[in-house]
Amino acid sequence: LEQEITAAIEAATDEPALEEVRVSALGKKGKISELMKTLGKMSPEERKEMGPALNGLKGRVGDAIAARKEILKDQALNERLKSETVDVTLPTRMGSPFEGRVHPIAQVTDELTAIFADMGFAVAEGPDIEEDFYNFTALNFPPDHPARLEHDTFFLPVDAEGNQKVLRTHTSPVQIRTMTSQEPPIRVICPGRTYRCDSDQTHTPMFHQVEGLVIEEGIHMGHLKWTLEEFCKAFFEVDSVKMRFRASHFPFTEPSMEVDIGCQRVGNELRIGEGDDWLEILGCGMVHPNVLRNCDLDPDRYTGFAFGMGIDRIAMLKYGMPDLRAFFNGDKRWLDHYGFRP
């Protein structure tokens, strides 16, 4: 009988068929159940032998059915998956009229990354949710320094380790993260999102910067000027660029400068590189000795330069996009117009 039932279990090819087998063996009127009923009429000796035998049979048949059920379930799922797969590599039937666009920020980030890569710069990254220590303290902003206030910082709660968290107000904290995790020579750019509590025609609470950092023996301002000039020529696709370095102040560079590029308005068009108007595009300077010390680097041995540039800013200039806010409000018509083909 056991062989007969086992064979029937194996022969069942789906769950309803298996259920039929179960009923015919273990159901109220099933074969095993009928046998169990005969126990009552047996002599005690017979019952002592047949009772455990029948119970064992009942158990084994129950187990075999459960195991078979699992297998059938798996098979059914596999079948379903097979018949319901979608081949995402197939072309659309009519050629979609809704082709996506690359956002100008992504496009410009790719462009500038390629230009700096040609000059030997690697890309470094850091978190958007940053610690006060990296965003300010290690960058030589003393605890109550007024420059902290100029940053319109979004403060977040203090974390479990007691660190004040902030949304990073610039990409400069990535300088610290790089110098504390990597040995000189260092040559990196750090593009990414930055945040300040500020909003008007030319400011959005979230915007983008690209940081540059070079640390090596013997680095001087000539290297900084050359790097920025070569970048501007390549980025704005012009043979020469008028640039102006104005004295400025950042706690983490000494000396500090702001850089303007020459430009000229011709009708509706803005020509970059020539002309009598100036546009500010970045802040820069030589890395402050205190910053090097904060990162365990010897300022008598190493020098370096850093710069920070607004990506949104240079994207607007290069591609003639007038309103910064349109970058981030997700209007598809704007993206269709200013976006790039993938």
Cα(51)–Cα(67) distance, integer angstroms: 24
Q: Which two tokens stand for residue 264?
A: 């000229």
CB of 215: closest distance to ligand PHE in angstroms? 13
Helix/strand/coil (H, E, C) string of 81-93? HHHHCCCCCCCCC
Q: How far is the CB of 234 from ligand PHE (least distance, A)?
A: 20
Give the count of residues interacting with ligand PHE (CB under 6 A): 11
Residue 310 Cβ vs ligand PHE, minimum distance, rounded to whole Å: 8
Contact window for ligand PHE (CB under 6 A) among 95-103, 109-117, 185-193, 279-287: 279-287
Contact flag: residue 126 with ligand PHE (CB under 6 A): no
Tokens of 246: 């104005």
- Residues 162-201, one symbol each (x = binds ligand PHE by CB under 6 A, - = not), give --------x-x-----------------------------
Give the CA distances from residue 43 to residues 50, 92, 158, 201, in Å, rounded to whole numbers and listed in that order. 10, 77, 80, 99
Nearer to ligand PHE, 61 or 284 (CB): 284
Which residue among 306, 311, 317, 326 contacts ligand PHE (CB under 6 A)?
306
| 253 lies in the binding site for ligand PHE (CB under 6 A) | yes
Binding map of ligand PHE across residues 282-301, x = CB under 6 A, - = no contact? -xxx----------------
- The distance of closest approach from Cβ of residue 203 to ligand PHE in the complex, given in angstroms and rounded to an integer, is 12
Provide, rounded to whole angstroms, the least separation between the CB of residue 295 and ligand PHE: 15
Is position 124 an interface residue for ligand PHE (rule: CB under 6 A)?
A: no
Long-range contacts of 245-251 (CB under 8 A, 24+ apart): 248/283, 248/285, 249/147, 250/147, 250/283, 250/285, 251/139, 251/140, 251/141, 251/142, 251/145, 251/147, 251/288
From 15-23, 53-61, 63-71, 305-313, give the range in contact with ligand PHE by CB under 6 A. Answer: 305-313
Rounded Cα gap, residues 132 and 173, in angstroms = 9
Shortest distance (Å) from residue 285 CB to ligand PHE: 5
User: How many CA atoms, within 13 angstroms, populate the side-chain half-sphere of residue 260?
Assistant: 14
Tokens of 213: 């950092």
DSSP state of 120: T
Query: Whose Cβ is closer to ligand PHE: residue 30's or residue 184's?
Result: 184
What is the distance of C-alpha 83 from the center of its chain?
34
Does residue number 308 form part of the binding site for ligand PHE (CB under 6 A)?
A: yes
Q: Say how far apart CA 236 and CA 254 lie, in whole Å.
A: 28
Q: Are 160 and 193 in contact (CB under 8 A)?
A: no
Binding site for ligand PHE (CB under 6 A): 170, 172, 211, 250, 253, 283-285, 306-308
- Name the binding residues for Mg(2+): 254
- Name the binding residues: 254
